[in-house]
């Protein structure tokens, strides 16, 4: 069990206790313990047996150490399960709606808007109940439930239902890693590879497709291996169990399809289950024209399917079809099949091409690490430079910098830069807020001293398309703006992009020589793959950044690189694949 699971269970218990009106001091001890579990670098499940070591962690006292031991032993907390039985499993989902905290849930409970379902009711039960109550006007007149709040809830439910059932790429990735590690513990399972949308690097994943191979997966002998899959500790419920395929849900709700395959058809299966469906359909047509048939088992002769042409690796299959192997991110039938057949595929960017990361936050605003810690993490990534870009004062809740603090911060950044003695360049920068009218949040004289000025929208998302477009255009017209940060403001599965004429903004950014960002934080991935294609077509300068708020997050750049691959971008198209000097020169260049 990873620390995040401990943190989640403790946090959920705190939420449920708050709904239940428990003593606020006790609730706070759960939240502090959850925070501690999230922050600590110790592996909680590994040290759970040793109460003394748990007690050394800041924020964990005697009673919380006992709770952590209970979680390690049972995978859950009795307090939490008891409250879930009382309020219904759906209340945890209810808490995911924007503007919905434990206090509001308690209010809805007291008013009889939500009631606990029987134990086998679907988990979305509470959300359905709330939607029905809004529809029937039964929220009107409840305390703190003005028309605006009710409308916000209605919209929140709509968004939630649209994205329900999909999962962020980093969440799916982490699950895939955990399950693969477990599967490989079985002696006859040698290799586990994610396929489907996760392998193609899609920003969200519907279900997880995992392919397993090895001697234990040979045809007719899969019994014990299937047994092992079915015993996965993170399994929540079994969906279907056959000789070659086991489907189940993990506790977080994600569906997992594990397929057990003999080594000789592994390449064919990997190709087939990676998809996309559209890519596979076009590929099969090409095979037919060549007198071949392509299935999840093999590429074979059409007139005699027992004659296998290629099956063991993807490379052999594509080669037998007269094509080059291509990265899974490109397999969406958007021209890659034709280009590959002409041996004219672009060499798309790779994570190893990155030389720097120029958007990250420190403890000066809402980050959790120091400038030095960020620099240390950047060295581990093999980077040559970073830029420290904390928030500006308009974002008060992030402790954003005003002019005075910003100048002081520049000095500290330059200090670290000097201390790195050339091993890493540390640029002074800022993520300056774009105010409601498009003005930047800090004075020109201060911006003029920064090497990297990112301008971003963080407030007033509800503006009309005209207002928002004018606002962003004005911000990029500012001569100090070098990069437009997370241009559409979306939060995957949580907040739609704001209304914006993206085409007009990208076109103007290209004219002005202002770079546009692909923000690689897995909750953003903004610009999306389609807009990235457009940005390239329009001749925009493109930068990709991790937007890390913690030194441990710099590695998440990889999720963004995969979106760039999906957009067919090359290292050449991206500014921060250049060395420090080349990057700065390109960033400053005006057409
Ligand atoms: P997802 O799960 O919605 O994020 O997207 P995928 O692409 O992972 O879709 P999924 O899990 O339904 O199927 C995985 C791959 O298996 C898919 O990319 C292509 C292949 N596949 C599944 N069903 C079919 C089918 O009916 N025809 C073809 N040609 N391929 C299929
Ligand atoms: Ca899938
Ligand atoms: Ca699937
Ligand atoms: Zn931002």
Please check the confidence at residue 124 and state whether its pLDDT lies above 70: no
Distances (CA, A) of 335 to 317, 342, 540, 557: 18, 11, 22, 26
Dist CA 435 CA 275 (whole Å): 43
User: Atom of ligand 1 at shortest distance to CA of 204?
Assistant: 4
Whether ligand 1 lies within 6 angstroms of the CB of 203 is answered as no
Task: State the fold for domain 275-341.
Answer: Beta Polymerase; domain 3 (3.30.210)
Which is the CATH superfamily of the domain at 351-586? Answer: Metal-dependent hydrolases (3.20.20.140)
> H-helix or E-strand containing 204?
strand 204-205
**434: CA distance to ligand 4 center in Å?**
10
- Atom 15 of ligand 1, nearest CA residue: 273
Ligand 1 site, residue 277, Cβ cutoff 6 A? yes
Tell me what the mean pLDDT of segment 464-471 comes to: 98
Mean pLDDT across 74-93: 88
When pLDDT is cut at 50, 70 and 90, the band that residue 122 belongs to is very low
* Rounded CA separation 47/250 (Å): 24
253 in Cβ contact with 230 (< 8 Å): no
What residue owns the CA closest to ligand 1's atom 3?
206
Q: How confident is the model at residue 90 (pLDDT cuts 50, 70, 90)?
A: confident
Percent of the chain beyond pLDDT 70?
98
Query: Given this model, what pLDDT does residue 99 score?
Result: 81
The rounded Å distance from CA 518 to ligand 4 centre is 12
Closest ligand 1 atom to 276 CA: 18
**Segment among 145-154, 197-206, 219-228, 305-314 with least mean pLDDT:** 145-154
Task: For residue 492, give the nearest of 4, 38, 7, 160 by alpha carbon.
Answer: 160
Res 118 pLDDT > 90: no
Average pLDDT over residues 400-428: 98
Residue 166 CA: nearest ligand 1 atom is 4
Average pLDDT, the chain: 94
- Asked if residue 119 has pLDDT above 50, the reply is no
pTM of the model: 0.78
Taking residues 84-105, what's their average pLDDT? 88
- CA pair distance 452, 252, nearest whole angstrom: 39
Q: Which of the residue ranges 84-98, 105-119, 183-197 would you say has the lowest mean pLDDT? A: 105-119
Nearest ligand by distance to the CA of 332: 1
| Numbered ranges of CATH 1.10.150.110 in the chain | 3-162
Task: Give the environment of ion ligand 4: residues with CB less than 5 A.
Answer: 456
Question: What fold is seen in the domain 167-261?
Answer: Beta Polymerase; domain 2 (3.30.460)
Per-residue pLDDT at 75 exceeds 60? yes
207 CA distance to ligand 3 middle (Å): 5
**pLDDT band (50, 70, 90) for residue 117:** low
State the span(s) of the chain assigned CATH 3.30.210.10.
Answer: 275-341
Burial class (CB in 10 A: 0-12, 13-18, 19+), 45: middle
Among all bound ligands, the one having the nearest atom to the CA of 458 is 4
Q: Which of 28-32, 124-128, 402-406, 563-567 has the lowest mean pLDDT?
A: 124-128
pLDDT at 120: 41
Q: Supply the pLDDT for residue 125.
A: 74
pLDDT of residue 121: 41
Give start-end residues of each CATH 3.20.20.140 domain in the chain. 351-586
- Find the 277 Cα to ligand 1 centroid distance in Å: 6
Backbone angles phi, psi at 421, to 5 degrees: 45, 45
| Residue 362, ligand 1, Cβ within 6 A | no
Sequence ranges of the chain with CATH classification 3.30.460.10:
167-261
- 372 contacts: CB under 8 Å, gap ≥ 6: 416, 419
Checking DSSP bridges between strand 245-250 and strand 255-261, what pairing results, if any? antiparallel
Share of the chain above pLDDT 90, in %: 86
Q: 523 near 494, Cβ under 8 Å?
A: yes
Best mutation site among 209, 249, 270, 314 for ligand 1 pocket (most ligand atoms within 8 Å of CB): 209
Does the pLDDT at position 163 exceed 70? no
User: Which three-class secondary structure state does DSSP give residue 466?
Assistant: helix
Residue 97 has pLDDT above 70, yes or no: yes
Atom in ligand 1 nearest the alpha carbon of residue 280: 29
The predicted structure's pLDDT at residue 407: 98
Q: Measured from the CB, is residue 429 less than 6 Å from ligand 1?
A: no
Which tens digit of pLDDT belongs to each residue from 357-389? 999 999 999 999 999 999 999 999 999 999 999
**Which of these CATH numbers, 1.10.150.110, 3.20.20.10, 1.10.3860.10, 3.30.300.160, describes 3-162?**
1.10.150.110
Ramachandran category for residue 489: left, alpha or beta (phi over 0 → left; psi -120 to 50 → alpha)? left
> Which tens digit of pLDDT belongs to each residue from 294-314?
999 999 999 999 999 999 999
Q: Which of 165, 173, 175, 196 to mutate to test the pocket of ligand 1 (most atoms within 8 A of CB)?
A: 196
- Rounded to the nearest angstrom, the distance between the alpha carbon of 276 and the centre of ligand 1 is 6
């Amino acid at each position: 069990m990873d620390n995040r699971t401990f943190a989640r269970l403790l946090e959920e218990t705190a939420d449920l206790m708050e709904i239940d009106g428990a003593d606020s001091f006790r609730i706070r001890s759960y939240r502090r313990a959850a925070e501690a579990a999230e922050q600590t670098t110790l592996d909680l499940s590994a040290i759970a047996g040793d109460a003394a070591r748990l007690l050394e962690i800041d924020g964990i006292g005697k009673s919380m150490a006992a709770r952590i031991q209970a979680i390690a032993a049972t995978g859950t907390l009795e307090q939490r399960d008891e409250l879930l039985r009382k309020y219904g499993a759906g209340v945890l989902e209810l808490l995911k709606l924007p503007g919905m905290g434990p206090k509001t849930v308690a209010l809805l409970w007291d008013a009889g808007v939500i009631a606990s379902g029987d134990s086998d009711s679907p988990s979305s039960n509470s959300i359905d109940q709330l939607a029905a109550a809004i529809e029937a006007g039964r929220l009107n007149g409840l305390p703190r439930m003005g028309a605006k709040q009710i409308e916000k809830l209605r919209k929140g439910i709509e968004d939630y239902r649209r994205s329900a059932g999909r999962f962020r790429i980093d969440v799916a990735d982490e699950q895939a890693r955990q399950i693969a590690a477990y599967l490989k513990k079985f002696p006859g399972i040698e290799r586990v590879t994610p396929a489907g949308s996760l392998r193609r690097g899609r920003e969200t994943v519907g279900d997880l497709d995992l392919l397993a191979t090895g001697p234990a997966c040979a045809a007719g002998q899969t019994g014990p291996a299937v047994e092992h899959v079915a015993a996965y500790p993170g399994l929540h419920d079994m969906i279907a169990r056959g000789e070659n395929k086991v489907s189940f849900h993990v506790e977080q709700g994600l569906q997992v399809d594990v397929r057990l395959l003999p080594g000789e058809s592994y390449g064919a299966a990997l190709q087939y289950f990676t998809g996309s469906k559209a890519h596979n359909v076009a590929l099969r047509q090409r095979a037919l024209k060549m007198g071949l048939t392509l299935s999840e088992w093999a590429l074979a002769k059409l007139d005699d399917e027992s004659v296998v042409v290629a099956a063991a690796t993807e490379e052999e299959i594509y080669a037998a079809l007269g094509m080059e192997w291509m990265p899974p991110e490109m397999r969406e039938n958007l021209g890659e099949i034709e280009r590959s057949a002409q041996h004219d595929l672009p060499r798309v960017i790779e994570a190893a091409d990155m030389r720097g990361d120029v958007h990250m936050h420190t403890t000066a605003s809402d980050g959790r690490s120091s400038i030095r810690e960020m620099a240390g993490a950047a060295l581990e990534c093999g980077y040559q430079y970073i830029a420290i870009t904390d928030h500006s004062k308009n974002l008060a809740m992030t402790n954003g910098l005003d002019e005075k603090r910003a100048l002081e911060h520049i000095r500290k950044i330059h200090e670290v830069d000097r201390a790195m003695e050339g091993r890493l360049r540390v640029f002074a920068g800022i993520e300056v807020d774009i105010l409601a009218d498009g003005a930047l949040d800090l004075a020109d004289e201060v911006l003029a001293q920064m090497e990297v000025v990112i301008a971003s929208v963080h407030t007033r998302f509800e503006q009309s398309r005209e207002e928002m477009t004018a606002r962003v255009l004005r911000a990029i017209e500012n001569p100090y703006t070098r990069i437009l940060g997370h241009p559409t403001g979306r939060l995957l599965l949580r907040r739609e992009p704001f209304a914006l004429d993206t085409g007009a903004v990208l076109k103007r950014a290209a004219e002005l020589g202002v770079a546009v960002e692909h923000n690689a934080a897995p909750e953003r991935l903004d610009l999306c793959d389609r807009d990235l294609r457009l940005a390239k077509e329009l001749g925009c300068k493109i930068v990709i950044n991790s937007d890390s708020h913690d030194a441990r997050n710099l590695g998440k750049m990889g999720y963004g690189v995969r979106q760039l691959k999906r957009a067919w971008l090359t290292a050449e198209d991206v500014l921060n694949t250049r060395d420090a000097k080349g990057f700065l020169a390109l960033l400053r260049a005006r057409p």
